[in-house]
């Protein structure tokens, strides 16, 4: 143990991202604004019947998002229900209705919440052609919506915001697929498995027997992280030695999760023709991330003076520092992969994972969703700043009128409403409460409450990590969390696209002496302040009932 290796690991991650964000961010800006299509893309557009040159109104863009996600969800549901008929299913039965609904919602909403244990539930057919495919597609949808919003900020008096089908296709073919392929090769070298062997029985050294799992893991692991999905091939997720064999693959996994979210501000700045605006967003994201990572690491280290040394639910090859940095990365993006069991973290260390999600996952957030979430907060910050000094509020040359601020407010209210209503209903309705307490909750007392709060926070933010002692495969939690994931994903997208529509229709107000600058340190600090205060005011009471009380008592 020690502080300096922890700091050095953090700096190593920061250094790699610093090197990566410029080429990656510029590359994304180039291909999202390009009018040229690759040959394979032209073939694909012909096949699916899309005119790549056409542009969509925000309503039409939204309909495409919803149609694509609805078809994806139905397909994934059907796949699970017919698993027993498919080849390579390891003899597993069809997934029950409630669980199949929850899982389909989960993977289409980029959440990857898993109410099930993969080893005994999902065969290779569902993992490959269902879950891993949605790891690509749900990430591409998030990216498309973010790019549509950026395009709207950059455009003048347009009634269109882009073409969903080309944004989605380019996200997959030019970014996620090549990135996942490279990531999979690196993970393969590091020891992540890629085979179709099923379970192999071996006689162990001391004469016992052990069942060694197989599976096409590396290909799925790479996109699980790059697309900030997080759904493990195995129950133990990224703590399973076949998913994450060593400390250096652990570093690769963290960089894969953070690469796109931390590069998108550069893409945004480039597309706006004003890179400083991108760097202001990046500074706010990086600032919050750094403070959060330091806090969780310090809290777990200080709990390690206790009798079990904070090692319950942690792997020896990672220790405390590589576990907390991974946990921060995973919950501050919308990934939700775990390399240690958050349920066994110290009360306040576990609360940091919850707080990262409660911030709305904007520092840096999921692929696409992190950027649009932070841009909404930047808009609200400019609104507040404008009112404070008595100027017409505007952001990036767009006036913030009643319609814009209403949409931004609705966006910001959606997630907390879903989290708090879901948690409250779990305890307020007597029948549900009995079920949640008797069947679902593992740990007694305040920590049990935290398990349920964590679950709804994770679902509504499309994170997917858990205080995994909670048994979520029950009718109530499968249904409620499934709805929370869908509402937490697609309602905000509706508001973002509606906002994009009204921003695109505006002209850009030229910068004048009366314009409040949004790229200076003062603006960055104010953006961080608004982000933290909105979250703190919303969630302080409920945190006081759970992890705060548990940690301070």
Query: Of 36, 307, 390, 552, which one interacts with other proteins (CB under 8 A)?
Result: 307
Residues 36-65 that bind other proteins (CB under 8 A): 44, 47-50, 60, 63-64
With beta carbons less than 8 A apart as the criterion, state whether 268 and 150 touch.
yes
Pick out residues in 9-38 that bind other proteins (CB under 8 A): 9, 12
Q: Which one of residues 21, 170, 240, 266 is an interface residue with other proteins (CB under 8 A)?
A: 240
Binding other proteins by CB under 8 A: which of 129, 409, 417, 502? 129
Question: How far is 230 from 107, CA to CA, in rounded Å?
Answer: 10
398/447 with CB nearer other proteins: 447
Stretch that binds other proteins, among 248-256, 370-378, 410-418, 488-496 (CB under 8 A): 248-256
Task: Give the shortest CB-39-to-other proteins separation in angstroms.
Answer: 15
Question: If you ran DSSP here, which 8-state letter would residue 95 be given?
Answer: P
Between 270 and 440, name the residue whose CB sits nearer to other proteins: 440
Name the minimum Å distance from CB 318 to other proteins.
5
Out of 269, 347, 364, 482, which residue is the one contacting other proteins (CB under 8 A)? Answer: 347
Concatenated DSSP letters of 354-422: HHHHHTTSTTTTSTTHHHHHHHHHHHHHHHHHHHHHTS--EETTEE--HHHHHHHHHHHHHHHHHHHHH
Minimum CB separation of residue 514 from other proteins in Å reads 42
Instruction: Select from 186-194, 401-409, 497-505, 508-516 the region that touches other proteins (CB under 8 A).
Output: 186-194
Rounded CA gap, 53 and 66, in Å? 21
- Residues numbered 405 to 464 that lie near other proteins (CB under 8 A) are 442-447, 450
Segment contacting other proteins by CB under 8 A, of 141-149, 155-163, 187-195, 501-509: 187-195
Shortest distance (Å) from residue 61 CB to other proteins: 10
Nearer to other proteins among residue 311 and residue 483 (C-beta): 311
Please give the structure tokens belonging to residue 235: 């129950």
Residue 339 and residue 235 in contact, taking contact as beta carbons nearer than 8 Å: no
Closer residue to other proteins in complex, CB, 401/551:
551
DSSP string, 6-66: HHHHHHHHHHHHHHHHHHHHHHHHHHHH-----HHHHHHHHHHT--TT--B-HHHHHHHHH
Contact flag: residue 267 with other proteins (CB under 8 A): no
Q: Are 167 and 518 in contact (CB under 8 A)?
A: no
Shortest separation between residue 538's beta carbon and other proteins, angstroms: 25
Residues ≥6 apart with Cβ < 8 Å to 391: 514, 516
Q: Give how many residues touch other proteins by CB under 8 A.
A: 115
For other proteins, which residue of 213, 269, 386, 492 counts as binding (CB under 8 A)? 213
Give the whole-angstrom CA distance, residue 427 versus residue 233.
Answer: 32
With b for 16 or more beta-carbon neighbours within 10 A and e for fewer, the 105-144 pattern comes to: bbbbbbbbbbbbebbebbbbbbbbebbbbbbbbbbbbbbb
Site string for other proteins, 64-83 (x = CB under 8 A): x--xx-xxx--x--------
From CA 233, how far away is CA 224, in angstroms rounded? 9
Q: How far is the CB of 225 from other proteins (least distance, A)?
A: 15
Q: Which residue of 218, 283, 359, 498 would you call a contact of other proteins, by CB under 8 A?
A: 218
Of 213-221, 285-293, 402-410, 517-525, which part binds other proteins (CB under 8 A)? Answer: 213-221
Peptide linkage before 364 cis (omega within 30 of 0): yes
| Listed ranges 122-130, 390-398, 415-423, 453-461: which one lies at the site for other proteins (CB under 8 A) | 122-130
> What size, in residues, is the chain?
553
- Cα gap 44→474, rounded to integer Å: 41
Q: Is residue 173 packed enough to be buried (19+ CB in 10 Å), middle (13-18) or exposed (0-12)?
A: middle
Distances from the Cα of 502 to the Cαs of 123, 279, 406, 497, in angstroms?
45, 25, 12, 9
Interface characters, 132-161, with other proteins (x: CB under 8 A):
xx--xx------------------------
Which residue in 308, 434, 525, 533 binds other proteins (CB under 8 A)?
A: 308
Closer to other proteins by CB, 153 or 165: give it: 165
> Which residues are bridge partners to 394 per DSSP?
399
Three-class secondary structure of residue 194 per DSSP = strand
Dihedral in degrees, nearest 10, Cα atoms 16, 21, 23, 28:
140
Q: Tell me the window of 23-31, 92-100, 300-308, 486-494 that interacts with other proteins (CB under 8 A).
A: 300-308
Interacting positions 492-531 with other proteins (CB under 8 A):
none
Question: Closer CB to other proteins, residue 352 or residue 516?
Answer: 352
Taking CB under 8 A as the criterion, the residue among 202, 291, 388, 533 binding other proteins is 202
In the set 115, 310, 329, 440, which binds other proteins (CB under 8 A)? Answer: 310
Min CB(462)–other proteins separation in Å: 20
Of 242-250, 388-396, 488-496, 508-516, the segment contacting other proteins by CB under 8 A is: 242-250
**CB closer to other proteins out of 193 and 363:** 193
């Amino acid at each position: 143990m020690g502080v300096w290796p922890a700091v050095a690991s953090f700096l190593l991650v920061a250094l790699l991202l610093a090197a990566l964000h410029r080429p990656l961010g510029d590359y994304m800006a180039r291909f999202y604004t390009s009018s040229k299509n690759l040959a394979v893309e032209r073939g694909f557009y012909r096949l699916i019947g899309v005119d790549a040159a056409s542009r969509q109104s925000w309503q039409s863009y939204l309909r495409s998002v919803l149609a694509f996600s609805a078809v994806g969800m139905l397909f994934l549901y059907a796949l699970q229900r017919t698993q027993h008929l498919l080849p390579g299913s390891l003899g597993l039965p069809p997934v029950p209705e409630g669980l199949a609904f929850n899982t389909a919602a989960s993977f289409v909403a980029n959440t990857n919440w898993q109410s099930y244990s993969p080893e005994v539930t999902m065969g290779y057919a569902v993992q490959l052609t269902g879950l891993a495919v949605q790891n690509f597609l749900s990430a591409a949808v998030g990216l498309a919506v973010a790019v549509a919003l950026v395009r709207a900020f950059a455009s003048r008096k347009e009634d269109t915001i882009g073409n969903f089908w080309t944004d989605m296709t380019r996200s997959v073919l030019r970014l996620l697929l090549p990135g996942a392929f490279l990531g999979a090769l690196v993970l393969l070298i590091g020891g992540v498995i890629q085979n179709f062997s099923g379970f192999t029985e071996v006689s162990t050294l001391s004469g016992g027997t052990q069942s060694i799992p197989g599976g096409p893991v590396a290909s799925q692991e790479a996109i699980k992280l790059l697309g900030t999905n997080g759904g493990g091939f195995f129950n133990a997720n990224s703590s399973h030695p076949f998913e994450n064999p060593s400390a250096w693959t652990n570093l690769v996994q963290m960089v894969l999760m953070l690469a796109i979210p931390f590069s998108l501000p550069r893409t945004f700045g480039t597309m706006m023709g004003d890179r400083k605006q991108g760097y202001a967003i990046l500074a706010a994201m990086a600032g919050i991330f750094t403070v959060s990572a330091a806090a969780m690491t310090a809290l777990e280290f200080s709990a390690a003076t206790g009798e079990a040394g904070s090692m319950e639910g942690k792997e020896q090859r990672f220790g405390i520092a590589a576990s907390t940095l991974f946990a921060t990365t995973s919950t501050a993006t919308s990934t939700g992969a775990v390399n240690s069991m958050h349920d066994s973290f110290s009360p306040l260390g576990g609360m940091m994972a919850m707080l990262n999600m409660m911030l709305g996952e904007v520092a840096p957030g999921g692929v696409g969703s992190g950027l649009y979430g932070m841009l909404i907060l930047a808009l609200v910050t400019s609104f507040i700043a404008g009112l404070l000094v008595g100027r017409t509020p505007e952001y990036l040359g767009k006036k913030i009128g009643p319609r814009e601020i209403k949409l931004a407010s609705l966006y910001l209210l959606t997630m907390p409403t879903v989290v708090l209503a879901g948690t409250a209903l779990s305890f307020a309705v007597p029948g549900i409460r009995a079920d949640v307490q008797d069947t679902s909750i593992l740990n007694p007392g305040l920590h049990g409450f935290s398990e349920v709060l964590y679950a709804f926070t994770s679902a509504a933010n499309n994170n997917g990590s858990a205080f995994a002692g909670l048994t979520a495969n029950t009718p109530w939690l499968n249904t409620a969390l499934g709805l929370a994931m869908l509402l937490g994903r697609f309602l905000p997208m509706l508001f973002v696209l509606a906002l994009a529509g009204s921003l695109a229709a505006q002209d850009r107000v030229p910068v004048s002496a009366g314009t409040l600058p949004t790229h200076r340190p003062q603006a960055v600090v104010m953006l961080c302040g608004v982000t933290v205060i909105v979250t703190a005011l919303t969630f302080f009471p409920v945190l006081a009932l759970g992890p705060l009380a548990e940690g301070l008592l």
